[in-house]
Amino acid sequence: MALPSRVSPRWLLLFLAGVALVPWIAPNAYIIQVGAFAGLYVMLATGLNLLMGYAGQVSLGHAGFYGLGAYISGVLGARFGVPALVGTAVAAAATGLLAYVIGIPTLKLRSHYLAMATLGVGILCHIAFIQLHWWTGGSSGLASIPPVRIGPWELASDRQYFTLIWVVTGLALWIALNLVNSRVGRVLRALGDSPVAAEAMGVDTAAYKLRVFVLSAVYASLAGSLYAHYITVISPEIFSFLFSVLLVLMVAIGGIGQFWGGVLGAVPLTILPEYLRAYGDFEVPIYGLVLILVMMFLPHGVGGLIERLAGRLAPRRAAVQSPKSKVQNLGLVSASAQSSVFSPRASPARGAGDGPLLEVVGLSKRFGGVAAVTDCSFAVAAGEIVGIIGPNGAGKTTIFNIVTGVYGATRGEVRFRGRAIQGLPPYRIAALGLSRTFQNLQIFRSLSAVENVMVGCHMAARSGFLESALPLPRPRREERWALERALACLALMGLEGVEWAPAASLPFGQQKILEIARAVATGPVLLLLDEPAAGLNATEKAETARVIGRLRAGGISVLLIEHDMSLVMGVSDRVVVLNYGEKIAEGSPAEVREDERVVRVYLGEEVALV
């Protein structure tokens, strides 16, 4: 059950097996040392690529973390006699902690605050390495760092260090591979595509970004410690800002967001300058030229080129296979799976006696001087389908955003299943059983259809970040379960046959339904649909109406924003009409249709014709 974005561990094994041969075929220790440096840079670039490519955040201070690893364990070893491996562990822990502290405030914010913060931290580290000269030796560097000692053996030869470095790098790659292939990797890609949708699927995006950032800082620290104990002399200029830039360049050359990007960037950029040494004065120009050409002609890096070539060799592999038969062969979608798509929480039997499912009381929202919503109240009962209509700019989507936690309300109250939910972050509200779709599509474009829906299954899984980094039984079990559930959701929504296709390649109508399937996968009690039929043709609209019918049959209550009157009047039990942020009418479709004000401000002639 290889998911489309899954990275095969077989290639990693093959790669590491190839690396293991290097010390035996290398003609001399110099080549081995170049290989060891390549290992360090692969570790650095892979960690940075997880952050840049998967969490969509840039660190401009990785040289600082690299330096912290080198200096903390170097100073501990040279000045206090701490063994190398202990120093390495202490450095990794300290660097990770620092990254955690930097990440908490900066990763809560969108945009590139992390880049700015890490830029500053990197420069601060560099200054500290120079200024704390009683420990670090200042700008002349720190010498006599003890070599690595493992049990009774003290590592001395390049071959031994090559082995040690590549064992650690191999582990780092393997952990990264597990993460990328796990629900964590999927969620990271998802939040890179659309953070707001990821949050709506119940993903605590800040927490995931923070963990990836810490992991990548720890990778950098480990590489730094290994460098220090291998070379035994370090000086501040190695860890300057320019090296941070070089690391970002490595990731860009290798392929941002591709698992092999770190390797494909770091290995050539380590080897190329060494190779070019033979050209004397032409070294720098040739090096520069190669970089320029790669950036010009390979916008997705070397990894992107390989992917394209592989795609040409095996054209549209995923699409050629009949996905339906694939699904059936795997025996994944059982009848019971289909019937269990809906949450037991969402049962029509849970009657109206429990009070309304969603209550919006006196809700107001102002953006500066603009009143988007004013004193609006309505309720949705269990099992009910409620439509919200009104002219553009009436505040419909704003209400959705307040209810789902994207915006805070200026005044008023939102209660869901009897509980006040304002102030809760979107992912917490999603966990309570409230899901949504988006007016302007927010599918995860870098994932396949089924993986989009699997993100919706995120909340049901329990395995954490570290657990996912290791091949433990629980993450695997949960992945199988999520796949099964996702396929069932797709089948229920009539999306059989496109499960394995890239979500971005689907026709617009199917993308809209995919969003509904993804929302259903979260197991909601109440689903907020924001213009599900906008931009669809008549056939697709009919399909959308059927889908909503199926939701109702499954016991899901629906709050629906829609401009298509035949659809909204056809499926809704009740309709709320907004105008300029105020509720002007509420009632059954028939009542609303005849309301004089509604006809005047919104329905107009159209309804008369209907």
Chain residues binding other proteins by CB under 8 A are 22, 25-31, 33-34, 37, 130-131, 133, 137-141, 143, 158, 227, 231-238, 268, 271-275, 277-280, 283-284
**Least separation, in Å, of the C-beta of 134 and other proteins?**
10
Torsion of CA 6, 10, 12, 15, to 10 degrees: -140
Which lies closer to other proteins via its Cβ, residue 161 or residue 208?
161
**Least separation, in Å, of the C-beta of 58 and other proteins?**
23
3-state helix, strand, coil in the chain (%, to 5): 60, 10, 25
Which lies closer to other proteins via its Cβ, residue 130 or residue 361?
130
Pick from 348, 413, 406, 411: which is nearest to 379 by CA?
A: 413
Which lies closer to other proteins via its Cβ, residue 310 or residue 330?
310
Long-range contact set of residues 104-113: C-beta below 8 Å, sequence gap at least 24? 104/210, 107/57, 107/206, 107/209, 107/210, 107/213, 108/206, 110/195, 112/57, 112/58
**Least separation, in Å, of the C-beta of 272 and other proteins?**
7
Which residues pair with residue 130 across a beta bridge? Answer: none
Which lies closer to other proteins via its Cβ, residue 34 or residue 577?
34
**CB of 575 within 8 A of CB of 400?**
no
Look-up: residue for tokens 């699904």? Answer: 327
**Least separation, in Å, of the C-beta of 246 and other proteins?**
10
**Least separation, in Å, of the C-beta of 535 and other proteins?**
47
DSSP 8-state symbol, 240? S
**Least separation, in Å, of the C-beta of 228 and other proteins?**
11
Which residues pair with residue 413 across a beta bridge? Answer: 361
Residues 6+ apart with CB under 8 A from 292: none
Identity of the amino acid at 238: I
Cβ atoms < 10 Å from Cβ of 601: 18
99: its two tokens: 């990254």
**Least separation, in Å, of the C-beta of 169 and other proteins?**
17
**CB of 348 within 8 A of CB of 555?**
yes
Which lies closer to other proteins via its Cβ, residue 230 or residue 427?
230
Distance CA 443, CA 193 (A): 8
Which lies closer to other proteins via its Cβ, residue 138 or residue 494?
138
DSSP 8-state symbol, 439? S
**Least separation, in Å, of the C-beta of 28 and other proteins?**
4
Residues 6+ apart with CB under 8 A from 318: 4, 448, 500, 501
Which lies closer to other proteins via its Cβ, residue 165 or residue 373?
165
Phi, psi of 586, deg, nearest 5: -155, 140
395: its two tokens: 């505040």
**Least separation, in Å, of the C-beta of 88 and other proteins?**
18
Query: Parallel, antiparallel, or unpaired for β 370-380 and 358-367?
Result: antiparallel
**Least separation, in Å, of the C-beta of 140 and other proteins?**
3
